Structure 1
Amino acid sequence: MTLAQLKAFLAAYELGSFTAAANQLNTSQASVSELISRLEQEVGLSLFTRGGRRLHPTNAAIELRDHAQQTVTSFDNGIQALRSITSLEGGVCTFGVLRNAGYYDLSDLVQRFHKRYPKVKVRLVGLNSSLVAESVANGEIEAGLVVLPVLERGLVVKPLFRDEVLYASTTRSPRRGPMTIEEFAESKVILYDAYAGWNDPTRKQIQERAQLRGLKIVPDIEVEHVETALNLVSTGAAGTIVCRTIAEGPGFPKNIKTVPFAEPLYDTLALVQRESSYLSPATRRIAQLAEGTLLAKVRPEQRIPTVPSERTGRADSREQTINAS
């Protein structure tokens, strides 16, 4: 069994024809047909049946596919690793960051990275976490920092720490105690990340809590940036939500008071990368720099320890790629 046979098999499996597979592999239809025929002879099973103009995978092909994909991916990653040894002397690093990165001391991340590796070009994307996760899963950027929950399909996720989410207002007295979801649903609120809307991870958590109680959250004002929301809150226009890191920052308006939610609410910050992908050395370095910066800022009790696997006692396999980085 050869890599060429497995690549031909995977291309035919995904595209449904030897001709399309040949075009993708830049070879002839006869070559693809011969490679798969030899693979079938080796395993002693038919891998495809013809139905109309399209190939249909047999049960044997369905069983083989994941193993073939792992083998080809592992080989490609090994070649990429060898080619990337000198990539810190050039190339491009792509990394996604939180929109509110400045509050986590990440505003000078590029400057610090570029000082160490001046020959590497950097593409730093600052979007809502849901969009960063989508961009990583699609292969548009190599890795990124997000707030959970995001759609994790196709991603390796490494949770780092939790940051409590608070209710912020100039008109609600903290003496009234924590904010319940019922009171929040009845309050006049300003929410940011308007473009992401209810795909925003923090908003999503609040909406899910409200729905469990038959409530609906309808913001009175939506803006894009947390700074705009806080400026409006400081005028008494309405309340909003902020994480504790922002509330305890030096630029937080003095007249705004915060209270926790009755059922504590947290943003969980995490590193994500695409599943089965190889991070370039440059992206590994900037991810390490970002992780170190974040963890240096938080208290030990906020950190999320790596959970051992029940089977092996080691770190969960979904996190090992980033840990190894």
Structure 2
Amino acid sequence: MTLTQLRAFLVSAMSGSFTAAAEELGTTQPTVSELVRKLEVETGLALFVRGGRRLKLTPAGEELLPWAQRTVDAADGGTSALQALRGITGGTVSIGVLRNAAYYFLPELIDRFRREHPGVRLRAVGQNSAEVAAGVRSGDLEAGLVVLPIDDEGLEVSPLMRDEVLWVGRAEAARGRPMTIEEVAATEMIVYDAHYGWTDPTRRQLAERAQRAGVRLEPVIEVEAVGPALELVRRGAGETLVSSAVAASPTFPEGLGTVPFDPPLFDTIAVISRAGSTLAPATAELIRVAAEMVRRLGGEL
């Protein structure tokens, strides 16, 4: 039982004749008749009562009709969905985003893409780059924007830009000089991304730097988001680190100061996709626009 046979049966039943069905399907009457005949042979049941002016369904044909309708409708729906994606006029794009995407480009990206492609639904997923990498690797996400380093097994990684990471403390206690990893280890350190811990890319870089220097990083406070971490710094509970994009945002609290690391520390932002995969046109376009926005922020590699 093939889709072509079911379509020939369905159109014949709806139109009342093989001739009318052939005209609607753009083929010949013998072709339609033969497709239905083969379906009857395969099932061992007659589907039409022949001989009258109009085809009449047998009980077996009546039973098959709604199933044929659902099957043909489902196939046509799938075709339409794929054609919509090809033209970027429909479908859903699921993309992973890095932790602080809102500080870089996310609202602008979604607004611009929706204005240019109003028929496409967007799903932006991700609390941390480690999570995004896992989602792309498993196929739950088509592509993602992440901070490096990540575990890149099975992934294609294309770096886009880098953003300097800064140390944050209260302005009145500002050191006025770059922060060494030994000094970081001696502070009352506040960090965020508590759920992901030291799998977070920025914290991984710090941990590797501390390991090379022979010191240990032991935060006194861990929270999930950067906002509470900065508020705790403002209250004098400790010090933390942020990307330059966060430090430059209008929401960065007053009364806080920043210094660079010694040597400088950078978040590298990259596009990832599964190795060997071909992105759907809508996803590819969203990634292209996102990459354009990221590069426009500066800090190109």
1:108-161 CA deviation, whole Å, 9 max, x = no partner? Answer: 322221222122222110320111011111111000100000011111111011
Amino acid of the structure 2 residue aligned with 1:293: M
- Structure 2 residue aligned with 1:135: 135
Shift in Å, 1:246? 1.2
Q: How far apart, CA to CA, are the structure 2 residues paired with 1:198 and 1:149?
A: 12
- 1:173 corresponds to which residue? 174
Q: Aligned with 2:179: secondary structure?
A: coil
Give, in angstroms, the shift of residue 167 of structure 1: 0.6
What is the 5 A alignment of 1:182-193? 182-193=182-193
CA contact (8 A) 2:163 2:245 kept: yes
Alpha carbons of structure 1 residues 219 and 91: separation in structure 2 relative to 1, 3 Å: same
- Alignment deviations for residues 232-263 of structure 1 (CA, whole Å, 9 cap, x no partner): 11111100001112112222112111111111
Is the 8 Å Cα contact of residues 148 and 201 (structure 1) preserved in structure 2? yes
1:283 aligned onto 2:280: no
Q: Secondary structure at the match of 2:107?
A: coil
Check 1:255–1:94 CA distance in 2 against 1; reply closer, same or farther (3 A cut). Answer: same
Take 1:84 and 1:96, find their aligned partners in 2: how far apart are those partners?
Answer: 22
Distance 1:83 1:251 in 2: 43
Q: Which amino acid aligns with 1:98?
A: L
Whole-Å Cα distance in 1 between the matches of residues 86 and 179 of structure 2?
53
CA separation of 1:138 and 1:84: change in aligned 2, threshold 3 A: farther
For structure 1, which segment, 249-258 or 269-278, has the greater mean C-alpha deviation from structure 2 after superposition? 249-258
| Equivalent position of 2:230 in the other structure | 230
User: How far does the alpha carbon of each residue in 1:60-86 deviate from its partner, in whole angstroms, 9 at most, with x for none?
Assistant: xxxxxxxxxxxxxxxxxxxxxx86763
- Offset, 1:210: 0.8
Match of 1:33?
A: none
Q: Could you say which residue in structure 2 is the equivalent of 1:209?
A: 209
Residue 249 of structure 1 corresponds to: 249
Equivalent residue number for residue 19 of structure 2: none
Largest Rg, 1 or 2: 2
- Within-5 A mapping of 1:17-36: none
Q: Distance in 2 between matches of 1:85 and 1:98?
A: 25
The AA in structure 2 aligned to 1:172 is A
Give distance in 2, aligned partners of 1:201 and 1:145.
13
Distance 2:166 2:89 in 1: 44
Q: 1:88 to 1:214 in 2, by over 3 A?
A: same
Greater CA drift, 85-94 or 228-237: 85-94
Q: Is residue 150–residue 201 contact of structure 1 (8 Å, CA) maintained in 2? A: yes
Which residue identity is paired with 1:151?
Answer: D
User: SS of the residue aligned with 1:127?
Assistant: coil
CA distance 1:85–1:259, change in 2 (3 Å): closer
Q: Hey, what does 2:123 align to over in structure 1?
A: 123
Give the whole-Å Cα distance in 2 for the aligned partners of 1:147 and 1:166: 15
SS at match of 1:107: helix
Cα distance in 1, alignment partners of residues 217 and 187 from structure 2: 9
Indicate whether 1:303 and 2:286 are aligned.
no
Q: Is the CA contact (8 Å cut-off) linking 1:156 and 1:274 kept in structure 2?
A: yes
What is the CA–CA distance in structure 2 between the aligned matches of 1:203 and 1:129, rounded to whole Å?
12
How many residues align structurally? 220
Match for residue 146 of structure 1?
A: 146
Q: Do the aligned partners of 2:164 and 2:265 also contact (CA within 8 Å) in 1?
A: yes
Give the partner amino acid of 1:91: G
Distance in 1 between the 2:232 and 2:252 partners? Answer: 13
Any idea what SS the aligned residue of 1:187 has?
coil
The equivalent of 1:25 in structure 2 is none
Partner of 1:266: 266
The AA in structure 1 aligned to 2:175 is P
Q: Structure 1 counterpart of 2:154, which letter?
A: G
Q: Deviations over 1:197-222 (max 9, x none)?
A: 10000000101111112211111110
Deviates more, 1:126-135 or 1:84-93: 84-93
Q: Secondary structure at the match of 1:287?
A: helix
Matching residue's letter, 1:303: E
TM-score (norm 1): 0.65
Tell me if structure 2 keeps the 8 A contact 1:84–1:280.
no
User: Match for 1:153: what amino acid?
Assistant: E
Q: Is the 8 A contact 1:84 1:281 kept in 2?
A: no
Distance in structure 1 (CA, Å) of the matches to 2:128 and 2:209: 21
Counterparts of 2:141 and 2:252, CA distance in 1: 32
* CA 286–213 in structure 1, closer or farther in 2 if over 3 Å, else same: same
Say whether 1:102 aligns with 2:99: no
Percent of aligned pairs with the same residue?
Answer: 46
1:114 is aligned to 2:111? no
Instruction: Tell me if structure 2 keeps the 8 A contact 1:87–1:280.
Output: no
| Aligned structure 1 segments of 4 or more residues deviating by more than 6 angstroms | none
CA RMSD across the alignment: 1.8
Q: Is the 8 A contact 1:174 1:257 kept in 2?
A: no
